[in-house]
A and B are shown apart, each in its own frame.
Chain A
Amino acid sequence: AQKITQTQPGMFVQEKEAVTLDCTYDTSDPSYGLFWYKQPSSGEMIFLIYQGSYDQQNATEGRYSLNFQKARKSANLVISASQLGDSAMYFCAMRGVKAAGNKLTFGGGTRVLVKP
């Protein structure tokens, strides 16, 4: 079974500052992928960043970076230099190599509000 936990239901961040969104996971799969998605108020799901369980380095994509700590089973998203357009819901998700139906399992999400 796969489980994703996001413990922060909501948070404020000042514009231009960095923010860390927490994500912990649980799986018995030997190989898995971790993903972060952004859902702005317009509703679409936007893929942000991916981390493979065997990747040696933390993933980065522009202002997004993933702080992957395998032993702690955590995959926190760091958004640097926050912008007003970063205000959105953020979802952590995972897919194990043995996931039934190749499904992505999502956490409950964290709502981020960037203050000017």
Chain B
Amino acid sequence: DTAVSQTPKYLVTQMGNDKSIKCEQNLGHDTMYWYKQDSKKFLKIMFSYNNKELIINETVPNRFSPKSPDKAHLNLHINSLELGDSAVYFCASSQGGSHTEAFFGQGTRLTVV
């Protein structure tokens, strides 16, 4: 039973399109995140949600809009895709506090052509 599942695993799309990535966690965690991993493997936080509320938005363009219908789900919608959006996007979740690990989804490799 997958703890954090995100779909799709691969996404190839043309510039200008709109796409969504879905994420669900069955761990009962309060906090969910979106991370972006660039071509150099650097992982950067994009958004953090706690109990469906947006907590941080790390200077992400407005074309990226997260939505959390409940605390087990955090989806990412991207409008007007650009070549520079090509990356691997990870959903993750964790319980509160500084001493608990985050569990990651399998990642979504987005390629914009």
Contacts and interface: CB of A to CB of B under 8 A. Distances in A.
Categorize the interface residue count of chain A.
Answer: 20 to 34
Interface in B74-113: 88, 90, 92, 94, 96-104, 106-107, 109
Contact of B90 (A29, A45, A47, A99): A45
Interface in A52-88: 52
Given A44-B106, A100-B55, A101-B50, A89 B45 contact: no
Contacts, number: 72
A103 B100 contact: no
B107 A106 contact: no
Contacts of A106: 42-44
Contacts of B56: 100-101, 103
B100 A101 contact: no
Interface residues of B, number: 28
Given A43-B107, A44-B107, A97-B97, A104 B102 contact: yes
Given A43-B88, A43-B109, A44-B106, A105 B99 contact: no
A96 B45 contact: no
B25 interface: no
Contacts of A104: 33, 45, 92, 94, 102
A102 B101 contact: no
B104 A44 contact: yes
Contacts of B90: 45
B104 A45 contact: yes
Interface string B8-24: 00000000000000000
Interface of A: 29, 31-33, 35, 37, 39, 43-45, 47, 50, 52, 89, 91, 95-97, 99-106, 108-109
Interface of B: 31, 33, 40-45, 48, 50, 55-56, 88, 90, 92, 94, 96-104, 106-107, 109
Given A39-B41, A101-B50, A102-B96, 4 more contacts: A47-B101, A102-B48, A108-B40, A109-B41
